[in-house]
Amino acid sequence: MADLNRFIQAQAQYYNQALDELRTGHKRSHWMWFIFPQLKGLGHSHAATYYGINNLEEAQAFLRHPILGQRYLELCQVLADLSETDIHIIFGSPDDMKLKSSLTLFKRASEHKNPLFQVLLDKYFQGAEDQRTLQLLSHS
């Protein structure tokens, strides 16, 4: 079973702040790695490595987790409800691309069963998934 405690511990301090920032449409602080995690191997910083999702199975466990999965979907719904359609305005760079990677990973982890991930990819990324994430998934 995946050890997701690193996410629970980090989110304990930052989740409400992340939620408030996204509701206003402007990310201002540093929480991307553990709120919208991406596949390990995409980033090379300590935080990207520490909070990187190891594989599809760990991403599935994250989505099934009663706290982490619910929070991830709640934040995705906040993004879906925003009137702003320019993700760079909301997240800035490179966090806009980290979101694309995260959405791609969790779309695949959900086995395409949750349309919210594709809704966000359509709204903010012209429907395109992150190709580097797909490449890493195909080799895992």
Residue pair 6/12 in contact (Cβ under 8 Å)? The answer is: no
Of the pLDDT bands very low, low, confident and very high (cuts 50, 70, 90), residue 139 is: confident
pTM of the model: 0.95
Q: How many CB atoms lie within 10 A of CB 98?
A: 21
The answer to whether 67 and 114 are in contact (CB under 8 A) is: no
CA distances from 64 to 7, 25, 30, 72, 114 (A): 14, 27, 25, 11, 12
Per the listing, tokens 């990819």 go with: 121
pLDDT at 114 > cutoff 80: yes
Task: Give the domains, in start order, of the chain with CATH numbers.
Answer: 5-138 (1.25.40.380)
